[in-house]
Chains A and B, each alone.
Chain A
Amino acid sequence: MQLIASTLTAVPVVAAADADPEATAVPILPYLPELIFGLVAFGILYWVVAKFVVPNLEQAYAERTAAIEGGMQQAEKAQEEAEAALREYKAQLAEARDEAARIREEAKEQGASIIAEMRQQAQTEANRITESATKQIEAERQQALVSLRSDVGRLSTDLAGRIVGESLEDQTRQSGIIDRFLAELEAGNVRPEVVGSEVGGSDAGGSEAGSEGQGS
């Protein structure tokens, strides 16, 4: 190996490099051109970095920070708006519920009053109808009574005249017989076959029952 090395060092190019004092210099002693070139190289790269690279990156960082902060602010704002809307909706909902309850209450009251009123009205109407019916019935009864009284009297006299065989022309006797007959009838000497159960006028009670009995 020593042989190879010695033969190889004989090559002129390497010999020339080896001949330089730098080749055999202590490695911790700087080669001045390299030192100066190192300063220059750093200077150039520093200029590039400080002039073009860092400002662009720092600007992008600043914009990014601003964008993030802006986004967060926006989100916060949106959150606040949403909360406000929620509060408003809740308030509206509560109000609506109150109103609904109030309306329901009112309607209930109104309904009750309407029902009471209607009942009152119906009652009044019923009373009125009943009253008018009663009056009409009374009037008709009176009318019937009157007409019956004359009919019964005439029929009775006709009948009595035929039975007796004589014409009771005499007005005075005729009316006297009828009156007596009617008086007997009212006094209860003649029993009517049907007795009316309805409650009539107090004064006409007896005669009514009698006449009805007669009529039928």
Chain B
Amino acid sequence: MSPTAAVLLPMAEGESHFPPDPSLFWQPLVKFGTVDLFGSEMTLAITRPMVILALTVGLLSWWLIATTKKAAVVPSKGQAGTEAVYNFVRNGVARDMIGSRDFLPFVPFLFTMFVLILFNNWMGIIPPVQMPTMGRIGIPIALTLLVYIVYHWVGVKKHGFVGYFKFMIPAGLPGWIKPAILGLEMLTFFVTRPLTLALRLFGNMFAGHLLLVVFIIGGWELFQQGGFLTLVSVPAWIMAFAMTVFEALVQFLQAYVFVLLAASYIGGALVDEH
């Protein structure tokens, strides 16, 4: 735990992050000044999450290409590893949720989504990065936006524009209840789904990171106090270690849940008429 804290220290340098607050997530590295956006001031900057995101895209591209460039019938070790992840998304998520008839075109989309989210989530605990990029709401919103576009697009393409709305109403309902159901379904399709998809991922990463910061930086603060409080830093760091392990699991689960729900939305839009 102490190396973890030590790694975090440069970040804490110059300012105590304790108690942590949301400003913790605003880490501009290069600033280009400000612009006026709809009457409010916005800083133009390359932020740390952007750099991490670019780094993960680069590493993932390199890894995926390197291990599948010479994809063989009898896989090498690297290919077998990539295949394990690919199979997990392809068969465990895409095929199960969308169905074996239509799933294949969506596999690249879901696989990209899964590895990108998973790697970025784990960046929240991998030293020396230790910054979950999905803790910045802009990035989950970007990914959710893509899922949103995809599932509406395939739904309209399959059922037609009007047919898509008719498709939202389950068959066999009495006529008077149909408008209400349509309203509820539209709320689900156009508001609830994207909102929960983005907020779930963001909230988990955001809160998880704050939690780790509380235990790690809090432990450091206690350590500096001297006397009895220095001793209390030990359980704080033990807790930080436990929370890091727990966080690794949560980060995986959130990546999984995100693609699972994305696949289920796509599959839901693709099912035959009721």
Which of A's residues lie within 8 Å of B, judged by CB?
Answer: 1, 4-5, 8-9, 11, 13-14, 17-18, 20-39, 41-42, 44-46, 48-50, 52-54, 56-60, 63-64, 67
Contact = CB atoms under 8 A, between A and B. Distances in A.
A87 B18 CA distance: 86
30 contacts: A1-B16, A8-B15, A9-B15, A11-B14, A14-B14, A17-B26, A20-B26, A20-B43, A22-B28, A24-B23, A26-B22, A30-B137, A30-B141, A33-B46, A33-B47, A34-B47, A34-B139, A34-B142, A35-B142, A37-B53, A38-B53, A39-B146, A41-B53, A41-B57, A42-B112, A46-B112, A49-B108, A53-B65, A60-B71, A60-B79
B73 A60 contact: yes
B133 to A, nearest CB: 8
A49 B146 CA distance: 16
Contacts of B75: 60
B197 to A, nearest CB: 14
B239 interface: no
B40 A21 contact: yes
B107 interface: yes
Given A31-B47, A31-B137, 15 more contacts: A1-B221, A17-B26, A22-B43, A23-B23, A24-B23, A28-B199, A44-B57, A45-B61, A46-B112, A48-B65, A50-B109, A50-B112, A56-B68, A56-B71, A57-B71
B155 interface: no
Contacts of A17: 23, 26-28
B60 interface: yes
Interface string B1-39: 000000000000011101000110111100000000100
B231 interface: no
Given A39-B146, A52-B69, A44 B111 contact: no
Nearest to A60: B71
Interface string B133-153: 000111111110110000000
A38 to B, nearest CB: 3
B20 to A, nearest CB: 12
Contacts of B61: 44-45, 48
Query: Is chain B's binding surface mostly helix, strand, loop or mixed?
Result: helix
Interface in B44-67: 44-47, 49-50, 53-54, 56-57, 60-61, 64-65
Contacts, number: 161
A27 B199 CA distance: 11
Given A14-B14, A22-B26, A38 B139 contact: yes
A52 B14 contact: no
A50 to B, nearest CB: 4
Contact of B73 (A24, A28, A58, A63): A63
B112 to A, nearest CB: 5
Q: Which of B40, B108, B109 has the most CB of A within 10 A?
A: B108
A38 B65 contact: no
B215 interface: no
B138 to A, nearest CB: 3
Contacts of A53: 64-65, 68, 82, 86, 108, 111
A44 B137 CA distance: 20
Nearest to B104: A58
B71 A39 contact: no
A46 B108 CA distance: 7
Interface string B176-219: 00000000000000000000000100100010000000000000
Contacts of A30: 136-138, 141
A31 B53 CA distance: 14
B272 interface: no
A44 B115 CA distance: 13
Given A8-B14, A38-B138, A64-B73, A21 B42 contact: yes
A52 B136 contact: no
A86 B199 CA distance: 69
A31 B112 contact: no
Interface in B110-148: 111-113, 115-116, 136-143, 145-146
Nearest to A1: B221
B83 interface: yes
Contacts of A27: 22, 25, 137, 206
A35 B68 contact: no
